[in-house]
Structure 1
Amino acid sequence: MSEATADGSFGGAVESAGPTRHGLNPSDIAVGVVIGRTSEFFDFFVFAIASVLVFPRLVFPFVDQVTGTLYSFALFALAFLARPLGTWLFMTIDRRHGKGTKLTIALFLLGTSTVVVAFLPSYEQVGVFSIWLLALFRIGQGIAIGGTWDGLSSLLAMNAPEKHSGWWAMVPQLGAPFGLIVASGLFAFFHGFLPDEEFMSWGWQFPFFVAFAINVVALFSRLRIVATREYVYQFQRRELQATRVRETFRAYGKVIIVGAFAPLASFALFHMVTVFPLSWVELYSGESVTRFLVIEGVGAAVGAIAVVASGLLADRYGRRTLLAATAFMIAIFSGFAPSLLAQGEAGEIVYMLSGFIILGLSFGQCSGVVATNFPTQYRYTGSAIVSDLAWLFGAGLSPFVALYLTEKLGLIAAGGYLLSGAVCTLLALRFNKMLDYRD
């Protein structure tokens, strides 16, 4: 592993280059990581918001609005089911044709699968074919997300000074709040300023068009880093080697399973403060959805600050300690916070801001909780598999389960679901310690 030099650039000579040394500033990697993650999460949130505001009326008009939203959330989960398949497929492309080819195909597939949703015909136009098309587009998004794993986060973490590992670990996580700010802002604008008929006719489509443009920017930003000699050098040293998924799982299955459950509380809370409350406001409150989208955007900005704070806290107290503390905070939050959504605007603001603060502190460090348990040869593929399974178990069905429990048993049941995620995280952290975890 190359060492960080005093001026903050990465040392490590490229052996084939003779005496020439090539440095890569960590801030350059950080920019590529943040832009890439922002594009992915923007696509994610655009579809999520449309699952509440658009698809129940456009694709499922033959059922009541609650059932239509549940159906939309079921389709929403398909991407998380398809994501591991995408990882397997694109790791094969990575080994045979390189990361540049892999990223180009994956990001164009992601952008295309997102933008074609804007052209989705309604159920009234083509019947059940509309549902199948939406499912196909969502699966395409999931497969593409599995291929967007570029190793930049691992590159950043492995080259960061040890005493600042928490700080650099939080950088990729900033993409989530940034993506939500842009997505909620766009939908708030079109939903708030257009009559309902025009919004359903064409206004909802615009964020999906924007997604393709953002993905193109993200592609060039990431390729600019992937093509650098330092990145290629580290890949050649097997620090960012794409290994076979089956081989990685066979060698480090325990680490993968623990890693998938370690961030469960954070990922469950992720949807409990982003997707689920929007569905509550739309279905049960009778209040302005536009106003709530603005609150959500402000909450995401607060969450971004909390993500940054997580880096400072992790470097001072340790990542595992911070994650355990935030899991306890999520457990406490689950006991009373969901009921705040039924207390009007003031309750919604308290719920969203407090939820985003806890989420930012937890989410900011959850991605690297078990990465150091993988040797460098398996870290690239192992981290990708852990990410896929963590999102699948922790987030894939969260909006559906939370809304279903709320409809049948009330908001307290949604809180119980969140509590179960906190318990799983604490247990996984305990097992992770037994696997010789190191900060």
Structure 2
Amino acid sequence: MSSATNYRPSSSTMEQDARRIHDDRPVSPGSIAIGVIIGRMSEFFDFFVFGIASVIVFPQLFFPFAPDRLTATLYSFSIFALAFIARPVGSIVFMTIDRLYGRGTKLTIALFLLGGSTASISFLPGYESIGYWSIALLALFRLGQGFALGGAWDGLASLLALNAPKNHRGWYAMIPQLGAPIGFALASTLFGYFVANLSSADFLSWGWRYPFFVAFAINVVALFARLRLVMTKEFGTLLEQHELQAAPISEVLRFHGRDILIGAFVPLASFAMFHLVTIFPLGWVSLFGNMPTGEFLFIQVLGAAVGVAGIITSGLLADRIGRRSQLAVCAVIIAVFSFAAPMLLSSGTRGQEAFVIIGFGVLGLSFGQAAGSVSSRFSLRYRYTGAALTSDLSWLIGAGFAPLVALSLSTNFGLAFVGYYLLSGAICTLLAIYFSRTLEAGGPEQTLR
């Protein structure tokens, strides 16, 4: 391992000057928390806008040639998965930009690309106008979203955790996760409003495009919120100490390849459940349920509120029983829920509502500590890059194909197989926690405490 003294600071001259200007303005943990939540909310909003449209817009607009609505939705979910394939590639490219030009430059490029890709989708004509080119462009912009999200990893969650008191690390670890249900609720509210107040023809013609327009504005706000924190003295100090540095990918894989692999499976149950209570049930109800789409979207907004409560509760529990125990207990709860999920989804409107509300509560409890789990095994120098790669791999394995797989399994073999799919994620999480315990090499910074 090369020495830290040979490690090049990931900060441009402009960023260093900005930090000197702000030397007399210390940033509070509360300000960091707000910046982190805004940043995560913008990312999840972009992804959920696409995810919701994958169910209620894209099958009709881009795949009208499909033999039925189910097949069109499966095609749409295939495009949805592309972003999770592109995300690790984006991380690798943007880590290089980070090392050469600084974190601020990387974030600016990534967030403009993320917002630009999302907003560009709103201008796309449908298949009836330009044929297969519309699908190719949709796939291109979806790849752009995933590639950009790989570059949006900013280290602010780590900055928040490193500023956390020792006995409140679980509480601080859950704060970035609040951005997910907030982003989902905002996307669902926008779509729900237009679905409920426009005719089907008007919605498919122009109404669906507005949430994609909003995405660019939200990303600009998020960019300024995050740059403000990146330019602080605290962030610069941690860069100089190499706690938030971008390390060469090959070096990280050489020293922490095993940790990346194990870490990717630790939050797998949570990440598998992530799209099984957001995108998949919307698709199932739209195809086979009796509830109007707009009404179900607002039920999901209520579910997102329950998810927020679950995430907050996860922070309290993790500080009391430890993060490892919290993740293991939640994996067991998800395993239990996997047996109830098929029965709820097949029990009509009330059962589907219960699936959403209960599912979001369980998701919140598990997802609240998922971010902390991916970075806890890395030494300081490799934590930033290692956590990014681990997160990318975990999202790819656990969440990227979940809507496609779940819908395929449920329609071909029955809803019980959705439960089996979720159960497999819970088993993987429990096994990863076990191997993490057996293989950990000591050092308080390298354990899933």
Residue 229 of structure 1 deviates from its aligned partner by 1.4
1:238-266 Cα deviation digits (max 9, x unpaired): 11110011211111011000110111100
1:236 corresponding residue in structure 2: 240
Match of 2:45 among 32, 42, 46: 42
Query: Is 1:403 the counterpart of 2:407 in the alignment?
Result: yes
> d(CA) in 1 for partners of 2:357 and 2:376?
32
CA contact (8 A) 1:185 1:293 kept: yes
What is the DSSP-based 3-state SS (H/G/I as helix, E as strand, rest coil) of the residue aligned with 1:367?
helix
User: TM-score normalized by structure 1?
Assistant: 0.95
Match of 2:174 among 156, 170, 174: 170
| Matched residue type, 1:56 | P
2:386 corresponding residue in structure 1: 382
1:161 corresponding residue in structure 2: 165
1:185 corresponding residue in structure 2: 189
1:127-161 Cα deviation digits (max 9, x unpaired): 11111000000000000000000000111112211
Residue 283 of structure 1 deviates from its aligned partner by 0.5
1:89-134 Cα deviation digits (max 9, x unpaired): 1000000000000000000000000000001111111111111000
1:45-92 Cα deviation digits (max 9, x unpaired): 000000000000000000111011001100100000000000001000
Q: Structure 1 stretches of 5 or more lacking a match?
A: 1-15
Residues 1:206 and 1:21: Cα distance change in structure 2 (over 3 Å): closer
1:352-374 Cα deviation digits (max 9, x unpaired): 11111110000000111142321
Identity of aligned residues (%): 58
Query: Is 1:52 the counterpart of 2:55 in the alignment?
Result: yes
Match of 1:250 among 254, 257, 260: 254
2:127 corresponding residue in structure 1: 123
Query: Is 1:216 the counterpart of 2:220 in the alignment?
Result: yes
CA contact (8 A) 2:266 2:433 kept: yes
> d(CA) in 2 for partners of 1:22 and 1:261?
40
| Matched residue type, 2:31 | D
Match of 2:150 among 146, 151, 164: 146
Query: Is 1:199 the counterpart of 2:175 in the alignment?
Result: no
1:1-12 alignment runs, 5 A limit: none
Match of 2:424 among 401, 416, 420: 420
What is the DSSP-based 3-state SS (H/G/I as helix, E as strand, rest coil) of the residue aligned with 1:373?
coil
> d(CA) in 2 for partners of 1:123 and 1:145?
27
Residue 338 of structure 1 deviates from its aligned partner by 2.4
CA contact (8 A) 2:436 2:448 kept: no
Residue 23 of structure 1 deviates from its aligned partner by 3.1
Match of 2:298 among 271, 294, 298: 294
Q: Structure 2 stretches of 5 or more lacking a match?
A: 1-18, 441-446
> d(CA) in 1 for partners of 2:215 and 2:368?
24
CA contact (8 A) 1:24 1:230 kept: yes
Query: Is 1:96 the counterpart of 2:100 in the alignment?
Result: yes
1:295-310 alignment runs, 5 A limit: 295-310=299-314
> d(CA) in 2 for partners of 1:435 and 1:150?
29
| Matched residue type, 1:197 | A
CA contact (8 A) 2:323 2:448 kept: no
| Matched residue type, 1:425 | T
Residue 435 of structure 1 deviates from its aligned partner by 3.2
CA RMSD, 1 decimal: 1.3
> d(CA) in 1 for partners of 2:242 and 2:411?
50
User: TM-score normalized by structure 2?
Assistant: 0.93
What is the DSSP-based 3-state SS (H/G/I as helix, E as strand, rest coil) of the residue aligned with 1:24?
coil
1:273 corresponding residue in structure 2: 277
> d(CA) in 2 for partners of 1:199 and 1:342?
29
Query: Is 1:362 the counterpart of 2:361 in the alignment?
Result: no
Residue 286 of structure 1 deviates from its aligned partner by 3.2
1:308-387 alignment runs, 5 A limit: 308-387=312-391
Residue 291 of structure 1 deviates from its aligned partner by 0.7
> d(CA) in 1 for partners of 2:26 and 2:142?
40
> d(CA) in 2 for partners of 1:42 and 1:388?
18
> d(CA) in 2 for partners of 1:370 and 1:388?
10
User: Number of matched residues?
Assistant: 423
What is the DSSP-based 3-state SS (H/G/I as helix, E as strand, rest coil) of the residue aligned with 2:186?
helix
| Matched residue type, 1:29 | I
1:8-47 alignment runs, 5 A limit: 23-47=26-50
